[in-house]
Amino acid sequence: MFGVVLWSDGAAHKAVIWCEDQGELAYFDAAEHPGPIALEMEPGDLVKFEVSCLDRLRRVRNPRLVAERQYPSLAVDLKAARPVLTAADPAARPARPPADDRAQSAVIIPFVAEQRRRAGLAAAEAEARRLSV
């Protein structure tokens, strides 16, 4: 996998890497690897590595430098690109009301539009079958 170093600590030989699949971040710790690691990773470096999961964290194995300082502002750019929260996003929902207020505060999401779309597709398919006979 390819990734870009977002943060590194040269003294501790640790790094946090943003992966090309844009999944969870991957963590590198030289102490987890047998033998010395000669690679010094700096923020913005493009690296190639193997990834594994250990203790529900993605771990970097066998990192290799592809290009130094390829994306030097990526960490800052990611911080600036805050997600737009929508009503469907759990983070955008207000805190749960007390149990006795829940009955009056329920949010109903109608599925009428989806039902109408499905009914229209079903009718179009039935008409296509009728015409093909």
Please check whether residue 113 lies inside any domain of the structure: no
Q: In which residue are the tokens 């779309």 written?
A: 117
So what's the pLDDT on residue 130? 74
Cα gap 9→119, rounded to integer Å: 58
Structural domain count, the chain: 1
Please check whether residue 59 lies inside any domain of the structure: yes
Please check whether residue 47 lies inside any domain of the structure: yes
Report which of 65, 75, 60 is spatially closest to residue 28, judged by C-alpha positions. 60
pLDDT digit string, tens, across residues 3-39 = 999 999 988 899 999 999 888 999 999 988 877 777 8
Please check whether residue 101 lies inside any domain of the structure: no
Q: Which CATH number do you get for residue 48?
A: 2.40.50.140
Q: Would the pTM count as exceeding 0.95? A: no
Tell me how far CA of residue 90 lies from CA of 80, 85, 96, 101, 103, in angstroms: 21, 9, 11, 19, 19
Please check whether residue 48 lies inside any domain of the structure: yes
What is the length of the chain?
Answer: 133
Please check whether residue 123 lies inside any domain of the structure: no
pLDDT digit string, tens, across residues 75-122 = 888 777 766 555 555 555 555 555 555 455 544 444 444 445 456 656
- Domain range for residue 7? 2-79
Instruction: Look at residue 132 and tell me whether its pLDDT is greater than 60.
Output: yes
